[in-house]
Structure 1
Amino acid sequence: MRILGLISGTSHDGIDSAVVEFHPNEDGLEASVVTHGSAPYAAGLRDRLVQALPPRSTTFEEVAQLDTLIGQAFAEAAVAAIADAGPVDLIVSHGQTVYHWVEGARVMGTLQVGQAGWIAEATGTPVLSDVRIRDIAAGGQGAPLASTIDELILAGRATGGRPVAALNLGGISNVTVVGADLPRAWDIGPANALIDAVVRERGLHAAGYDESGVIAASGRVDEALLAALLDEPYYRLPAPKSTGKELFHLDYVHAALERLGRDLADADLVATLTALTIRTVADALASLDPAELLVSGGGVHNRVVMDGIARALAGARVGRTDELGLGADEKEAVLMALIGWLSWHGLPGTTPSATGAGGGRILGTLTPGAEPLRLPEPCPRPAFLRMTAPQARTREHG
């Protein structure tokens, strides 16, 4: 089965896509990435999106327009991916999260925009969307959904009584820990969210992020600000838990600076926020003593972050998910495709111990394509996921 996964994450930069071919293999799944790409949002659309996000206020009119415009952008990305890879059997669109409603340790709701109907109409292919809410309705966090792919791709790697872990460094950092206990997963805190916000506000890099950590490397960590940021109550909540830019945004940084009654030089502020990312990851994982930590997401390209995590977790071998055949920049789009495969085959897309839900749930809402939906009979849940090299691409095979 060939599935196109689409997602725009908490960095709000654009749309990642991956066409993934799945083949059952004994009691597991084999998957190969046929094509992977990234399409940035048009500058005007991204600006409108950012202006509508908390803590700013917006209107239903703006939300409705963004729902359409982002849906159309996702449709364009889908058309481009299919033109490159050939027809697909299913498209899975995460859409763009605009609000994740959290009260204390409980998630009350979540909202992703990007109407799936635009994608189905443009491609004639069925679309699975709205993949988080069913887990939330069952008492879960609806996050981190990365635990679904992490649990399967890390299967069998924990040896010698020590767990292994997969860390994703997007706008928000999240981790899945697999070992003798049930898989555990949670959102740790800001990975790139606060760094990127400051880089953009102060115009420190045209790309809007600290490329390779060069800015952070040129600055000095302000220990007083770092201590104030580490005092955030979220870090003390037990897992499973989830968070987002509703909490960790530019005004959050401004408020911390105001409480201290100071401002910092650009490089020093970026260095301090980078240290926050490193410390929160290290503090979250130190007591679990993972033997191995495999990292994905945009943060893998920040050498200051990666080197800092490796030093802080000296007992763990720190690498990238590329070692498993899963590109660090592909993972979230491949995750969407995997969730699609599971839902299409009548299987839960989450693990209760990872999200906190009352049970596993089949995720998403299906929008038919040009033909009536014909779902197969449910099958056993795969015990592992193994990434393989893509087969020769043929248009006829689809």
Structure 2
Amino acid sequence: MKVLGMISGTSHDGIDVAVVDFELVGSTLEGRVGHTASTPYPDALRSRLIAALPPAPTTLAEVCELDTLIGQTFAEAAAAAITAGGPVDLVVSHGQTVYHWVEGAHALGTLQIGQPAWIAERTGTPVLSDVRIRDITAGGHGAPLVSVLDGLLLGGREGGAGALNLGGISNMTVVRDGELYAYDLGPANALIDAVVTSRGLHPRGFDEDGKIAASGRVDARLLEVLLEEPYYRLAPPKSTGKELFHLAYVEQALATAGVRPSDADLVATLTELTVRTVGDGVRAAGVAALVVSGGGCRNPVIMDGLRGALPGVEVGPSDDLGAPADDKEAIAFALIGWLSAHGLPGTAPGGTGARGPRILGTLTPGSGPLALPAPVAEPPRSLVLSR
């Protein structure tokens, strides 16, 4: 079964796609990764999206328009992927998260926009969407959903392993001795990107190759204030997002610290915040290896900082496991699509905190009758990816 996975993450910079051809061989699911790509949002659309995100006020009219415009952009990205990689049996669209409602350390709701009907209409292919909410209804956080992929990829590693994703928010899956748990650690690129964008430090809105951070020095007082954030001391499972970690959060921390660092020093300090919070989480997990994916793994300041903070831990990209670091989340959503289509849960309760595993998503039919493959009685025990 060939599945197209699509996601725009918390960095909201564009759409990542991955076509994966899955085949179940005994208890092992084999996935051949075909076409992958990343399509940036048009500048005007990205600006409107950023302007509508919390804590900014917005209107239902703007949400409706963004839902349509993002859905159309996803539809064009899906059509391009199908043209390049051939027909697919199912499209899985995560859409764009615009709000993740958490109170008292519990997720109560989540909203992803990007109307899937535009994808179904443009491609004629059924679309699985709205994949997080079912886990939340079962008491979970709806995140990190990539943990189901991590569990299948890393389950056999001796000494335990952590799978770290460095997107807007950092999240980690820990697999050790047959047990799995996962949670959001804190901001990875969210605060860095917010500062870079607001101060016009890079035309693409992020610290490319960590050059800005490398040119600055960490402000010890500001870092001390940032590390006082109560979220870091909550026990997993837990989830967070840009509802907490945004530009106004940085401005409040600056006011509390009573400092005015240079732009480079501010970016260096926020980068060190990512290194510290991730390092603390990995040390607490006690794993022997850390497999890293997401845009942050291309930032040498973060990666060098993690290697320095984690002596004795093997730190490397997820590419080594057949999941290219830039495409891993899109591959994960393709996997969720395969699981849902075969009547299998797409969650790992230890990863999200749900009462039990759940089959995920809402299906939008394509141009013909909706036909699903025969159900599979037992979920796969491992996943092998190849190109």
TM-score when normalising by structure 1? 0.96
CA distance in 2, matches of 1:236, 1:382: 35
AA aligned to 1:305 is I
CA distance in 2, matches of 1:274, 1:261: 19
> Is 1:221–1:269's contact at 8 Å kept on the other side of the alignment?
yes
CA positional deviation for 1:325: 1.0
CA positional deviation for 1:155: 2.0
> Is 1:289–1:315's contact at 8 Å kept on the other side of the alignment?
no
2:202 is paired with a residue of what secondary structure?
Answer: coil
> Is 1:130–1:365's contact at 8 Å kept on the other side of the alignment?
yes
2:253 is matched with which residue: 233, 245, 256?
256
2:21 is aligned to: 21
1:94 is aligned to: 94
TM-score when normalising by structure 2? 0.99
Deviations 1:267-286 (A, max 9, x none): 10000000000000011121
2:85 is aligned to: 85
Deviations 1:49-74 (A, max 9, x none): 11100000101110011111100000
2:298 is matched with which residue: 283, 298, 301?
301
1:191 is matched with which residue: 188, 191, 204?
188
2:55 is aligned to: 55
Alignment of structure 1 residues 232-251 onto 2, 5 Å: 232-251=229-248
Deviations 1:65-86 (A, max 9, x none): 1111100000000010001011
1:223 is matched with which residue: 220, 244, 247?
220
2:160 is aligned to: 163
2:125 is aligned to: 125
> Is 1:219–1:268's contact at 8 Å kept on the other side of the alignment?
yes
CA positional deviation for 1:204: 1.3
Q: Which runs of 4+ in 1 moved over 6 A?
A: none
1:31 is paired with a residue of what secondary structure?
Answer: strand
AA aligned to 2:18 is A
2:333 is paired with a residue of what secondary structure?
Answer: helix
- 1:385 aligns to 2:345 (yes or no): no
1:172 is matched with which residue: 169, 173, 182?
169
2:179 is paired with a residue of what secondary structure?
Answer: coil
CA positional deviation for 1:214: 1.2
- 1:207 aligns to 2:187 (yes or no): no
CA positional deviation for 1:5: 0.6
CA positional deviation for 1:262: 2.5
- 1:337 aligns to 2:334 (yes or no): yes
CA positional deviation for 1:173: 0.2
AA aligned to 2:224 is A
CA positional deviation for 1:181: 5.1
2:282 is aligned to: 285
1:276 is aligned to: 273
For structure 1, list consecutive stretches of 5 or more residues without a partner in the other structure. Answer: 390-398
> Is 1:5–1:336's contact at 8 Å kept on the other side of the alignment?
yes
2:34 is aligned to: 34
AA aligned to 2:306 is I
Summarize the Cα distance change of 1:155–1:181 in structure 2 as closer, same or farther, 3 Å threshold.
closer
CA distance in 2, matches of 1:255, 1:385: 44
Deviations 1:180-230 (A, max 9, x none): 152010000000111111111111112211111111111110111001000
